[in-house]
């Protein structure tokens, strides 16, 4: 997946040794971890799994989770660490990690 949603900028993240170990155990028949997956394809698969899980666990709230939910979750976790709506760390962190080019986009959420 080299294409970004909504023509955003591609990003690179540091990953843990545990994740590196897990990735090394994957079948490496393709240079990409998820093969020829597209954003839409991954979203469709995620939706199918989410529906099955919501049904199996009898928890309709799971249907409200989307890829975007994880962006909000990460920002919420940062808030709980700092107890400040816009601490210096969050201002530096938020646009970069949420892929917003401007703090005002972040504040609208």
pLDDT digits (tens, 9 = 90+) for 52-104: 999 999 999 999 998 788 877 877 887 788 776 665 544 455 445 555 556 56
Q: What is the pLDDT of residue 89?
A: 47
Residue carrying structure tokens 């972040």: 106
In the chain, the percentage of residues whose pLDDT exceeds 90 is 21
Q: Is 91 found in the same domain as 38?
A: no
Confidence check: pLDDT of 5 > 70? no
Q: Is 73 found in the same domain as 28?
A: no
Which residue range forms the structural domain that includes residue 108? 66-109
For residues 33 and 26, the answer to whether their CB atoms sit within 8 Å is yes
Q: Is 72 found in the same domain as 88?
A: yes
CB-CB neighbours of 95 under 10 Å: 16
Q: How far is C-alpha 31 from the chain's CA centre?
A: 21
Q: Is 57 found in the same domain as 71?
A: no
Q: Is 71 found in the same domain as 58?
A: no
More confident residue, 48 or 88: 48
């Amino acid at each position: 997946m080299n294409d970004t949603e909504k023509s955003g900028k591609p990003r690179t993240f540091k990953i843990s040794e545990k994740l590196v170990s897990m990735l090394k155990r994957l079948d490496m028949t393709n240079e990409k971890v998820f093969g020829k997956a597209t954003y839409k394809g991954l979203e469709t698969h995620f939706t199918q799994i989410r529906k099955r899980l919501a049904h199996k666990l009898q928890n309709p709230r799971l249907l409200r989770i989307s890829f975007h939910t994880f962006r909000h979750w990460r920002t919420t976790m940062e808030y709980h660490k700092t107890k400040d709506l816009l601490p210096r760390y969050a201002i530096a962190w938020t646009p970069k990690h949420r892929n917003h080019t401007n703090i005002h986009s972040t504040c609208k959420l």
